Structure formats: C-alpha cells, structure tokens
Chain A
C-alpha cells in the first residue's frame, strides 16, 4: 500500500507537503529524512521509516514501523540519543539494526549535521549578540521632523560666522590678521602719546615672533592675491612661502567666487606698509630658519 500512496501522492496527484522548484522537488514534512521528495524519502510512502529530529538541543530518533500503521497516535516511536556523538551513533545503529542501508546512512548523516549546527549555535551565543531594537515609526518621524526644524532654527552659518568674528574681536588670533581697523583707530585716538612706545613694542614683538610674522605675511598675501599682482608678490617672497601661499590663494580663490570682493585699495594701504617693514628684517629670519 505504500506503493499506492506513492503513486497517488508522490507522483501524480497533489501532495500538500510537496514543493516544486525548477530543478528539484522538496518535501515539507517534518519527519522527512532528507528534505527531498523521493520515493525512498517520503515518510508517507514508506511504511518503515526513521528520522532524527532535535528539540531544545537534544536529538531524538523517530521510528515508524508497519505494525503500528493503523494506530496513528502511536505511529512514531521516539528514542532520546545520548549527548555523546559516538555513543549516539552507536545507539542509532543499535536501534536501526536490520533496517535498510539507505535509512541508516541518511539518519547518521542528518544526526551529524544537526550536532554541527547545535555546536555552532552554542559558540555564537557566547560571542557578542546583535541586539535588535525595534524602531517606532511615529517616533522616528517625529524625531526627523524635529531635527529639520532645529536645523532651520539653528542658522548654523550665521552662528559660526558670529562666533568667529567674536573670536577675532577678542584677539584670540593674535597678530595674524591685521584687520582691526576700528580697534586701531581707537587705539590711535586714545593713546596718541603712547603710540611711539606701542610701535616700539610691536617692533620688538615682530622681531621675536618669526613664525607668526611668516603667517602674517602669508595671510595678507593671499588676501591681496584675490585682486591683483599675484606674480609680483610671488617673486618677491621666498620659495617656501610661495608654496604655502599657493594653497591659501587657491582656498581664498574658491571662497571669493561666491562672495563679494573687498575694496582692494582701501584695505591695501596698511598691510602693504607693514610688508615693507618686515622685508627689512627678513635676512635675519632667513638665517634663523635655515
């Protein structure tokens, strides 16, 4: 009668456990030994059949014999296999003695596979687990919206520019930028008498801080280059400084593209004068640096 079952279910008519794909047929039955839909692996079409299944990390051997065919409740007999791999194999052999070779072989294969993946599971649980945190859609949307609004409210560019100007005012940049026209004027107005001593102090400072002087000149040159006479300035300065200047010129070029150009002549006067000043002291700095 197993032949009849196979003829109907397996080959011709509908079997609800069967899954067909382009190349192969699979069997979804939980008691199936190999997972394929074959005459020899169909648990329905074989009256004597055995499988290995695992539950909660323990492996069981399930057996079905023709004697119990009319009692579906007692059809599948289950045997707990030992945790020891070799012993379990012996138990399989013992229980399936005198059974067809195919079933014995496939049972042992299946058992091997199962133990391997159980070992792997145990190893992986010891390593770091990735914790999945469910996203809440409403909250995600709300956060996104709030972020956008916060971005608009932040007005980052303005804030950064303001902060930089503040720092410039508070002299954190020291002598690099020689802008503070306002401060300079104020200083002139307030301390007319002391102007000479101030300039003396500046001279001394400039003598001392060679490096900052260098920076100073570069920055100014780069600003000037925006407008005119790049070549003249380049030839007048040293080679080392030229390279650094070019980098800064490019940077300032790129910047000045979108922004309004400065009033060149109005700003040029003071820095121009100061450059002449420093070129006098250049030879000293050259040797020092070298």
Chain B
C-alpha cells in the first residue's frame, strides 16, 4: 500500500515514517488516514506549515506584480462580507419610491410624523418581575421621555389596552422576563397600531457598562435608525421612531441609536460632543440591549385572533446565511 506504511517497526525513529517519494498506482493517502495520533499530528503540522509557506510566497509574488505594474495595477479586490453577499431582498425600499411614501403617509404612524400626537409610553413587565427587570424598566423609562412604568399585577393585556387608550397612551412596552432576566419585548402602538414582538438579549444595565457617563438627563434625545432597508425594516424603524418625541433637544446632546445588523437591532444610548467638525466623541450612558424581531402583528396585542403581518419561521427563513429580513 502507501509507501509510508513500511516503517512500521521503526519506533526508534522520531515517530514519523519517511515521506513517500513516488506514489504510483494507489491514490495518495490523506493525513487523516494515519491511525497513530502522534504521527498524524506531526504530519498535519508539517502540511500546515507547507500551506502557510505557499500562501506567503503567493502573497509576495502578487505584491511584486502589483508594484511592477504600478499605476496600471488592477484595483484591490474587495473582500466578501456577509453584507456584501446579502441575498437581494425584493422588498428593499428605494428612497424615491412613491408607493412606499404614500403608504407611510397613511399608515398608523402618520399622526405621529405629522406632529399630531405626542408619544406617551407605558412600560410594564410580565407577572412578578425580579429586581433586574424592574431596574431595567426604570432605566428604560429615563431613556425614553414621557414614559411611565407600571407594575403589572396579573392583569390581562387585553384589558389593559382599552384603559391605556382611554388615558391617551400612544405606545405600550411589555418586557417579558424569564429566570430573572428580561428576554422579550412587546412593543405595541396603541390606537390600533402594529404590535411587534422581539426577543431581547444581552441586556446591560447602566452599572454594568464600562466607562459610562452620568445619568441621562431629561432632554429629548435624538434618534438614529441605521440599516433598516426593507419594507419590514422600515415599518419597524418607524415604530421605534414613534417612541421618541419629534423634536429633539440638541442641548442635551443625547442620542438613542437603533442599529440593525443582520436582523439584530442593537440599541445604544450615548451622549455626544463635537470636538471639531470632523471629530465627535461619544460616551455611552444608559442601558443597552439587542433585539431580534419575532413577529409583527397588524392590530394591537392579540395572540390568538390577531392578523400577523410577519412571523419568523425558522425552517423557511433561516435556511440561508446571507438572507436577512429587516
């Protein structure tokens, strides 16, 4: 068989058989076929070294060619990232799309964007919240202006909602808790608005953030919404924007960011300062968390009879690594 197998009895050698000079008829054996672990490991390391050398040599060669060509060299290749390779989503919103603009002028958030309503937010939790969740709710209410935290005493959401509407609340946030950490967020726009259910992860309270600043002040923060490209992403982005009052107070220099990357929405709250017109410093205050959209419902919260606009179906939607929905 393979030439290397001949050195069977030579345990006195340094553990590896001599490399096969010429392999005639039988196919080359791969390193993984050697049964002895030590020898196999050794072979593998040697093979790896060889690969690295070849790679380095190839790089050098390419660099030389590049320099030799000088100006005429082809431009550097752009490395492929997941964002580059993203599967084109047909619902991506074109900034000049009239249909989308029309839709947005007439959907549930139109009154907010026309400055007719002032956001008023109710933050609550699931039953019997633990300390962490309660503290998180408090911090969240300092971040979002005009928000109130109410303790939930076993009340059904369906009963809370008409009461909220009667008291002029525009949004309802329910933070679901499991095993003493908050893990879910239900954001419901009240007067007949859409309800979004998110999965919340990596929640950091203010004291767990390193190098944080002082507490967020009462100024209305600015809002940054990044990377919400598709139609679905647009509606979710508008939902977030409608939480904050329309006119930010720039004296406060606070900014709340919702950054969407690969379907994960990262929330951060910073205080910024412009050091020059090209440089800005930011300092993180406030809690941070990441959200992942699980479902978007047309009306207010109704898990049984509601009409779902979008549900995350794992089997269908998670098949491709490069496909994102927001």
- B282: Cβ under 8 A from any A Cβ: yes
Asked if A127 and B154 make an inter-chain contact with CB atoms under 8 angstroms apart, the answer reads yes
Asked if A147 and B277 make an inter-chain contact with CB atoms under 8 angstroms apart, the answer reads no
Beyond A149-B262, A153-B83, A255-B281, 18 additional contacts (C-beta under 8 Å) are A146-B262, A147-B292, A150-B266, A151-B266, A154-B266, A156-B266, A159-B226, A160-B257, A163-B224, A163-B257, A164-B272, A164-B280, A165-B278, A165-B280, A168-B277, A179-B276, A251-B273, A259-B275
The contact of B154 among A128, A150, A252, by CB within 8 Å, is A128
- A101: Cβ under 8 A from any B Cβ: no
- B290: Cβ under 8 A from any A Cβ: yes
The contact of A254 among B250, B268, B283, by CB within 8 Å, is B283
Q: Given contacts A147-B202, A255-B281, are A160 and B224 in contact (CB under 8 A)?
A: yes
- B197: Cβ under 8 A from any A Cβ: no
Kindly state the interface size class of chain A when it binds its partner.
35 or more
Whose C-beta in chain A lies nearest to the C-beta of B222? Answer: A167
Q: Given contacts A163-B226, A255-B281, A255-B283, are A215 and B259 in contact (CB under 8 A)?
A: no
Asked if B259 and A159 make an inter-chain contact with CB atoms under 8 angstroms apart, the answer reads yes
Q: In the docked arrangement, what's the CA distance between A223 and B226, Å?
A: 29
- B38: Cβ under 8 A from any A Cβ: no
Q: In the docked arrangement, what's the CA distance between A215 and B250, Å?
A: 9
Q: Given contacts A177-B274, A182-B277, are A154 and B259 in contact (CB under 8 A)?
A: yes
B 219-253 to A, binary, CB cutoff 8 A, 1 in contact else 0: 00010101000000000000000000000001101
Asked if A251 and B271 make an inter-chain contact with CB atoms under 8 angstroms apart, the answer reads yes
Asked if A150 and B273 make an inter-chain contact with CB atoms under 8 angstroms apart, the answer reads no
Q: In the docked arrangement, what's the CA distance between A139 and B107, Å?
A: 35
CB-CB contacts below 8 Å: B84-133 with A: 127
Q: In the docked arrangement, what's the CA distance between A128 and B290, Å?
A: 28
A273 to chain B, nearest CB (A): 18
- A262: Cβ under 8 A from any B Cβ: yes
- A30: Cβ under 8 A from any B Cβ: no
Q: In the docked arrangement, what's the CA distance between A224 and B134, Å?
A: 40
13 contacts between A and B (CB under 8 A): A128-B156, A150-B266, A154-B266, A156-B259, A160-B257, A165-B277, A168-B277, A177-B277, A215-B250, A219-B251, A244-B251, A251-B213, A262-B276
CB-CB contacts below 8 Å: A234-277 with B: 244, 247, 250-252, 254-256, 258-259, 262, 267
- B255: Cβ under 8 A from any A Cβ: yes
The contact of B264 among A150, A173, A182, by CB within 8 Å, is A150
Q: In the docked arrangement, what's the CA distance between A251 and B283, Å?
A: 9
A210 to chain B, nearest CB (A): 14
Whose C-beta in chain B lies nearest to the C-beta of A135? Answer: B178
Asked if A139 and B314 make an inter-chain contact with CB atoms under 8 angstroms apart, the answer reads yes
- Which of A159, A168, A180 has the most B CB atoms < 10 Å from its CB? A159
A96 to chain B, nearest CB (A): 41
Q: In the docked arrangement, what's the CA distance between A151 and B264, Å?
A: 8
Asked if B82 and A153 make an inter-chain contact with CB atoms under 8 angstroms apart, the answer reads yes
- B30: Cβ under 8 A from any A Cβ: no
Kindly state the interface size class of chain B when it binds its partner.
35 or more
Q: In the docked arrangement, what's the CA distance between A168 and B255, Å?
A: 13
Asked if A173 and B214 make an inter-chain contact with CB atoms under 8 angstroms apart, the answer reads no
- B211: Cβ under 8 A from any A Cβ: yes
The contact of A154 among B213, B214, B261, B277, by CB within 8 Å, is B261
A 175-200 to B, binary, CB cutoff 8 A, 1 in contact else 0: 01101111000000000000000000
Interface of chain B: mostly helix, strand, loop or mixed: strand
A148 to chain B, nearest CB (A): 9
Q: Given contacts A157-B282, A215-B251, A250-B214, are A151 and B275 in contact (CB under 8 A)?
A: no
Q: Given contacts A163-B224, A164-B280, A255-B283, are A156 and B257 in contact (CB under 8 A)?
A: yes
Whose C-beta in chain B lies nearest to the C-beta of A183? Answer: B277
A 2-44 to B, binary, CB cutoff 8 A, 1 in contact else 0: 0000000000000000000000000000000000000000000
Q: In the docked arrangement, what's the CA distance between A182 and B278, Å?
A: 10
The contact of A258 among B211, B217, B226, B253, by CB within 8 Å, is B211
- A144: Cβ under 8 A from any B Cβ: yes
Give every chain A residue within 8 A of B280 (Cβ-Cβ): 161, 164-165, 168
Q: In the docked arrangement, what's the CA distance between A255 and B154, Å?
A: 44
The contact of A146 among B213, B224, B259, B264, by CB within 8 Å, is B264
- A221: Cβ under 8 A from any B Cβ: no
Asked if A147 and B290 make an inter-chain contact with CB atoms under 8 angstroms apart, the answer reads yes
Q: In the docked arrangement, what's the CA distance between A274 and B224, Å?
A: 31
- B319: Cβ under 8 A from any A Cβ: no
Give every chain B residue within 8 A of A157 (Cβ-Cβ): 282
Whose C-beta in chain A lies nearest to the C-beta of B81? Answer: A153
Q: In the docked arrangement, what's the CA distance between A255 and B272, Å?
A: 9
Q: In the docked arrangement, what's the CA distance between A247 and B251, Å?
A: 11
B 195-213 to A, binary, CB cutoff 8 A, 1 in contact else 0: 0000001100000000101
Q: In the docked arrangement, what's the CA distance between A218 and B250, Å?
A: 12
Asked if B271 and A218 make an inter-chain contact with CB atoms under 8 angstroms apart, the answer reads no
Asked if A252 and B156 make an inter-chain contact with CB atoms under 8 angstroms apart, the answer reads no
Give every chain B residue within 8 A of A130 (Cβ-Cβ): 127
Whose C-beta in chain B lies nearest to the C-beta of A258? Answer: B211
- B16: Cβ under 8 A from any A Cβ: no
A174 to chain B, nearest CB (A): 8
Asked if A147 and B255 make an inter-chain contact with CB atoms under 8 angstroms apart, the answer reads no
- Which of B202, B261, B263, B292 has the most A CB atoms < 10 Å from its CB? B261
